[in-house]
Amino acid sequence: MQRRATSVHWADSPWAWLLLFGAAAALGLLAIAPKYNRREARLERAYQARERAAYGTGQAPDASAAVSERDPPTPRIVPWQTLAMVMALVVCALAGGVVWHRLRAAAGRSGRQGGPV
């Protein structure tokens, strides 16, 4: 009778793949964050300039058009929020992978002892 292999390969776990791709996404976000911040600031300045121009032509002003020249542009979407969500995903994947590995190891041990698998 052939015995089942008790070692579990890391690639068998969906949690390991979630951890791997989540870590890659986090590293990608860290790599592009400075360039994204510069781009977002440029777009925000252009938006504020359009708002000021519309306010100057007599169109109906809104609250965002009253931004002064000294106020720095505040981006609406910042990469750190996305990075925080991705890092939470990575932590959950790590915890899930540990639980999955322990359950698989326990099932392998009980299978060797003749108990239910």
| pLDDT, tens digit only, all 117 positions of the chain | 455 556 667 777 788 888 888 889 889 888 988 898 888 888 888 888 888 888 876 655 555 545 555 566 666 667 788 888 888 888 888 888 888 888 888 887 776 655 454
pLDDT at 45: 86
Whether 33 maps to a domain, the answer reads yes
DSSP state of 70: T
Whether 32 maps to a domain, the answer reads yes
**Hey, how many other C-beta atoms are within 10 angstroms of the C-beta on 23?**
16
Whether 117 maps to a domain, the answer reads no
**Domain count for the chain:** 1
Whether 3 maps to a domain, the answer reads no
The values of phi and psi at residue 67, to 5°, are -75, 130
Whether 4 maps to a domain, the answer reads no
Angstrom distance (rounded) from CA 61 to CA 57:
10
Whether 81 maps to a domain, the answer reads yes
Whether 73 maps to a domain, the answer reads yes
Whether 2 maps to a domain, the answer reads no
CA angle 111, 113, 117 (to 5 degrees): 25
Angstrom distance (rounded) from CA 1 to CA 112:
12
- Distances in whole angstroms, Cα of residue 5 to Cα of each of 13, 97, 110: 16, 19, 13
Domain range for residue 81? 15-112
Assess contact for 7 and 68: CB atoms under 8 A: no
